[in-house]
């Protein structure tokens, strides 16, 4: 961390020294590339962190530039009038992008390709409007005669303003990526569906990230207008949008400094090639292709895994936990009702009039042959499969038509059969996400305090699964058994009233299975939740279950205690179970 701060300070000092070392013309050119780097930082926030690529950032850059240009011309040097107008140049792109993001991302999980194409289409629309709206934008010739910022020379000390803004934005992003919001963005890119099952509205998270990125583009546009003195339709065009993406990719989309480095390197390279080589654009395109294929981490990646701004270490939270997490408990008695539930996909009936009721706490089991509809029942309950008939109610409220994050907010937590963790995040960060589920508020999303949250259940799980204490380990480096235990721990850390466990012992050794059985019994009893387990290992069912449901062909075949179910002739005819 100390090295990172020294390197950052050195870079800032070198930028300030450019006018003295290389002259004002070089500083003027560099200032333009730094402005473009600001836009790239916003793209990196979306692309490198949240996992979706905006192809139309020039639209928001151009909107900010046009608004700033009109403000500078209209304010006529009046600072008190100019400041709020320049704020509008940042706010309008941010709000527009957030709205677009909500509309697009709310459609479905993982709508990245559609989003990218829509932003591209919006940029093309913006270019046409800028060309045709002569009275507003100046049409093809652009908005000309834009004065500089009051008291600031566009060819002189404006450069220092640009460097200052870049420094503030970079520090702000560095801080933002370390907050819970930044961790959740990374989790969204890795496993968006799992994050929704913790109760997080990933559509809103991605829309917020897109809004922030567009605000940065608008800020860059507000600096571009006085820097160039003219804003043309090319400022909102697809070509510039493509260049933003190229600069970000070449520099490094997973870091804060990368997009700035890419914009500066490619900017000066293009400036030199433009006059010396006829096909200079082909060279830039080739550099982009080679970078994407061979060096996906960009120039920053070539420099190796450096701390701070240049690596993922910037977002790793402290392992120290000394703040009690806000309580999340409900003493309501369980009440889960499946009422003639039907799920059909095309001609195939997945669930066919399934009816069951759970109205007492404890551990219940669902067993049955493969294809009986056990996991589909969980999927129907948690928003993964739409109901075609009947209803599912929890505490008297229907779950039909709800999205996974809305179901999770009804105090329902789910573990999948295959361990579903955030592989590129640390164990600490995985556990943090579970602790934040249904507890963290909007203000706390942008605070460092939630990284220190702990709970009594957290301590109990850490004592039971010792590897959890090594919070700096990347989750993807854990063994299969450890990932199962981590996933189990995360599921229970939410302290939900209803816990759904889909084959929690799948893939575990005999010893690990015994450890998991003991953990399920002890942890569930300690918090008094109602648990439903899908399991084929009858040893697990015998040791844990208070009540057993047997499913067959999408219907309930039998229910009762394990002895009664085993003695049922209909159950014996279709299912025998097994043990490890």
User: CATH no. for residue 485?
Assistant: 3.40.50.300
Residue 295 and residue 184: Cα distance in Å, rounded? 26
Token pair 């050794």 is at which residue? 509
For 567, the token pair is 């003695």
For 293, the token pair is 């294929």
Residues 387 and 290 in one domain: no
Residue 216 and residue 213: Cα distance in Å, rounded? 5
How many folded domains does the chain comprise? 2
Show the domain range for 27: 2-315
Residues 542 and 502 in one domain: yes
Residues 439 and 517 in one domain: yes
Residues 99 and 145 in one domain: yes
Instruction: Give residue-wise pLDDT tens across range 429-480.
Output: 999 999 999 999 999 999 999 999 999 999 999 999 999 988 889 999 999 9
The answer to whether residues 185 and 179 touch, using CB atoms and an 8 Å cutoff, is no
> pTM for the complete prediction?
0.91
Residues 295 and 433 in one domain: no
The answer to whether residue 354 is domain-embedded is yes
The answer to whether residues 49 and 209 touch, using CB atoms and an 8 Å cutoff, is yes
Residue 498: what pLDDT? 95
Instruction: Give residue-wise pLDDT tens across range 313-353.
Output: 444 544 678 888 888 766 677 899 999 999 998 888 999 99
Nearest to 420 by CA among 433, 410, 406: 433
Residues 502 and 366 in one domain: yes
Residues 251 and 295 in one domain: yes
Residues 286 and 361 in one domain: no
Residue 444 and residue 180: Cα distance in Å, rounded? 8
Residues 353 and 299 in one domain: no
The answer to whether residue 326 is domain-embedded is no
The answer to whether residue 301 is domain-embedded is yes
Residues 304 and 376 in one domain: no
| DSSP string of 381-396, one letter each residue | HTTSS--SEEEEEETT
The answer to whether residue 136 is domain-embedded is yes
Residues with Cβ within 8 Å of residue 511, at least 6 apart in sequence: none
Residuewise pLDDT in 10s, the chain (580 residues): 545 667 778 888 888 888 888 889 999 999 999 999 999 999 999 999 999 999 999 999 999 999 999 999 988 878 888 999 999 999 999 999 999 999 999 876 766 678 999 999 999 999 999 999 888 998 999 999 999 999 899 898 999 999 999 999 999 999 999 999 999 999 999 999 999 999 999 999 999 999 999 999 999 999 999 999 999 999 999 889 999 999 999 999 988 999 999 999 988 888 877 777 777 778 778 887 887 787 788 888 776 544 444 444 444 544 678 888 888 766 677 899 999 999 998 888 999 999 999 988 899 999 999 889 999 999 999 999 999 999 999 999 999 999 999 999 999 999 998 999 999 999 999 999 999 999 999 999 999 999 999 999 999 999 999 999 888 899 999 999 999 999 999 999 999 999 999 999 888 888 999 999 999 999 999 988 999 999 888 888 989 988 999 999 999 999 999 889 888 888 888 876 655 5
Residues 161 and 233 in one domain: yes
Residues with Cβ within 8 Å of residue 63, at least 6 apart in sequence: 89, 92, 93, 96, 126, 218, 221, 236
Residue 133 and residue 72: Cα distance in Å, rounded? 19
The answer to whether residue 324 is domain-embedded is no
Residue 579: what pLDDT? 57
Residue 18 and residue 247: Cα distance in Å, rounded? 21
The answer to whether residue 486 is domain-embedded is yes
Q: Which residues are registered as beta bridge partners of 349?
A: 344
Sign (positive or negative) of CA dihedral 297, 299, 303, 308: negative
Residues 340 and 275 in one domain: no
The answer to whether residue 323 is domain-embedded is no
For 337, the token pair is 């009702």
Residues with Cβ within 8 Å of residue 304, at least 6 apart in sequence: none
Residue 79 and residue 89: Cα distance in Å, rounded? 15
The answer to whether residues 162 and 223 touch, using CB atoms and an 8 Å cutoff, is yes
């Amino acid at each position: 961390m100390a090295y990172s701060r020294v390197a950052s300070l050195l870079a800032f000092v070198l930028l300030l020294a450019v006018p003295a070392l290389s002259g004002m013309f070089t500083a003027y050119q560099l200032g333009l590339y730094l402005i473009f780097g600001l836009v790239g930082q916003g793209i990196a926030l979306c692309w490198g962190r949240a996992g979706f690529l905006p192809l139309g950032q020039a639209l928001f850059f151009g909107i900010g530039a046009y608004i700033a240009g009109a403000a500078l011309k209209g304010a006529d040097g009046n600072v008190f009038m100019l400041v709020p107008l320049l704020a509008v140049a940042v706010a309008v792109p941010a709000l527009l992008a957030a709205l677009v993001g909500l509309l697009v991302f709310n459609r479905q999980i993982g709508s990245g390709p559609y989003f990218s194409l829509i932003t591209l289409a919006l940029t093309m629309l913006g270019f046409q409007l800028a060309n045709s709206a002569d009275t507003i934008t100046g049409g093809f010739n652009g908005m000309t005669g834009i004065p500089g910022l009051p008291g600031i020379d566009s060819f002189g000390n404006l450069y220092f303003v640009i460097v200052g803004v870049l420094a503030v934005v970079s520090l702000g992003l560095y801080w933002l990526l370390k907050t819970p919001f930044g961790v959740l963005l990374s989790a969204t890119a890795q496993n968006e569906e799992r994050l929704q099952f913790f109760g997080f509205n990933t559509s809103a998270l991605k829309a917020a990230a897109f809004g922030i990125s567009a605000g940065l583009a608008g800020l860059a546009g507000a600096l571009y207008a006085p820097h160039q003195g003219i804003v043309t339709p090319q400022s909102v065009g697809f070509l510039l949008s493509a260049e933003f993406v190229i600069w970000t990719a070449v520099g490094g989309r997973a870091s804060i400094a990368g997009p700035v480095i890419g914009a500066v390197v490619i900017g000066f390279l293009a400036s030199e090639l433009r006059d010396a080589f006829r096909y200079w654009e082909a060279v830039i395109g080739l550099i982009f292709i080679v970078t994407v294929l061979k060096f996906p981490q960009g120039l920053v990646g070539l420099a190796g895994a450096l701390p701070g701004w240049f690596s993922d270490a910037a977002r790793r939270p402290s392992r120290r936990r000394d703040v009690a997490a806000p309580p999340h408990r409900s003493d309501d008695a369980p009440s889960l009702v499946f009422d003639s539930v039907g799920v059909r996909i095309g001609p195939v009936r997945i669930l066919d009039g399934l009816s069951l009721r759970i109205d007492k706490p404890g551990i219940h089991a669902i067993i049955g042959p493969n294809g009986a509809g056990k996991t589909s029942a969980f999927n129907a309950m948690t928003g993964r499969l739409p109901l075609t008939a009947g209803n599912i109610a929890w505490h008297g409220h229907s779950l039909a038509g709800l999205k996974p994050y809305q179901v999770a907010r009804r105090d329902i937590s789910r573990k999948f059969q295959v361990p579903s963790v955030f592989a590129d995040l640390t164990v600490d960060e995985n556990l943090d996400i579970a602790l934040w589920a249904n507890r963290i508020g909007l203000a706390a999303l942008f605070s460092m305090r939630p990284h220190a949250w702990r709970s009594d259940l957290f301590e109990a799980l850490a004592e039971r699964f010792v590897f959890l204490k090594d919070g700096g380990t990347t989750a993807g480096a854990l063994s299969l058994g450890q990932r199962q235990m981590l996933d189990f721990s995360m599921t229970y850390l939410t302290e939900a009233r209803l816990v759904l466990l889909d084959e929690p012992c799948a893939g575990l050794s005999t010893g690990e299975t015994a450890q998991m059985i003991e953990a399920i019994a002890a942890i569930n009893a300690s918090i008094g939740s109602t648990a439903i387990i899908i399991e084929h290992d009858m040893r697990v069912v015998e040791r844990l279950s208070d009540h057993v449901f047997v499913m067959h062909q999408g219907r309930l075949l039998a229910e009762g205690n394990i002895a009664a179910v085993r003695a049922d002739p209909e159950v014996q005819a279709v299912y025998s179970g097994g043990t490890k």
